[in-house]
Structure 1
Amino acid sequence: MDNSVNGKTVAITGGFGSLGLATAQFLVARGARVALIGRGAAPGGDALPTALKDAVCLGGVDLVDAEAARKALAHAGEALGGLLDALVNIAGAFRWETIADGDASTWDLMFDLNVKTALNASKAALPQLVARGAGRIVNIGAGAGQKAGLGMGAYSASKAGVARLTEALAEELKDKGVTVNAILPSIIDTPQNRADMPDADFTRWVQGEEIAAVIAFLISSDARAVTGAAIAVNGRV
């Protein structure tokens, strides 16, 4: 067992999605205890992988609402024994839309679901993470946040916002023992992405477990000197 995350308590937003579940299973296999937070209904026991039978599941949480985020993170900490060691912000969404044919409301939506969720969850978790003295926040950004492609203006801008949030919060917390980092995946191999791009070479995409491994490193004591970083995890894309 990897003792670097053994015994750590971790809240994962977007916890019911493909990457959230992959991350939770990876961490639990190494001795962590997890709370999964999602906007949809919490999956029943039979719907979760066996490895996550003891996970705390908090469904129906709208992280765009700061008060809902505060309650959810407080509940997660209490359910896991008192204080969180780490927060992993996976909650988010993607929309493909050209600027010429699109609408400004899509930009609002992307900032709500990608930036505000991470902002509210992070702010809600801060008292616990600071109290730990060695708290960790890991945000899921995107490679597209560094350069927008066709139809990705709103999404890319919001993921650039996640990167700036990461940097700003890392500066705020660097003297309090809390690190804040971002992972920038390329295309993640998920059922949804396979359905959207059926002719792609899936073997080139990054696997959820590969991203989870980087997350595990960033929440470990080995990464105590890493903060404000944006780490590309590209597979072979």
Structure 2
Amino acid sequence: MSSLRSLCRATGPLLAVAFLTLTTPALSGDFLAQAHTPAATPAAPLAQRLTRLAPQADPEVLRLAARALSCADPDAERLAVIDFSQPSTEKRLWVFDLARNRLLFHELVSHGQGSGNAMAREFSNTPDSHQSSLGLFRTMNSYHGRNGYSLRLEGLEPGVNDLAFERAIVMHGADYVSQSFIERTGRLGRSHGCPAVRSEVAVPLIDSLKDSQYLFTYYPDPEWLASSEFLSCPRGDQRLAMQ
């Protein structure tokens, strides 16, 4: 450091900057990208943090996701949010690392055949309906099945999604979730109710969510919005206020 101060006095600030450039290890591209990205601080309310990390998402959807998670598990480290009010041609899945205040994924995601074509409009908890389900899920273990690497989901809302495990509603990769499929058909392919993602990101995305993390799926369904225990949880309001 004393040699650097001598250099500054002798040659001026421009040569000192050059000296630092030559003697300091190169910064990674990830570090530089994070340095130019506004950070959401851990002390900020959860809904505000989610909105800052995902400005493309509907703030009301993120507010509801934050309320549900704050009610279920305020110490959760990861949260995925799906906004089924958007068409399948849009990236409507976000995966947040809450512990590090980072957006990990912003991706395409499918809905069930029984829920609609490009737009999902019908949702169900009924086996063999091939419809997607709404509400809050807890993630379980990952496994290799007929759809490749997959993630089991536990529905937490009685009568809304609590038959997800019985219905084999899992997150998995699928070749019908791609931009090329959209260009051919005007929409994504559809599942039997599973939130399928691009095959290329299935493994890292599932690994980021497995083992007791959370998934929140949204659609402006009046009955669910009015009756969900996680959306009307007084504890959730209190926890949000304290965050």
Normalization by structure 2: what TM-score?
0.25
State which structure, 1 or 2, has the greater radius of gyration over its C-alpha atoms.
2
Normalization by structure 1: what TM-score?
0.25
Question: Greater helix share, 1 or 2?
Answer: 1
Question: Greater strand share, 1 or 2?
Answer: 2
- Return the structure number with greater relative CO, CA threshold 8 A, min gap 6: 2
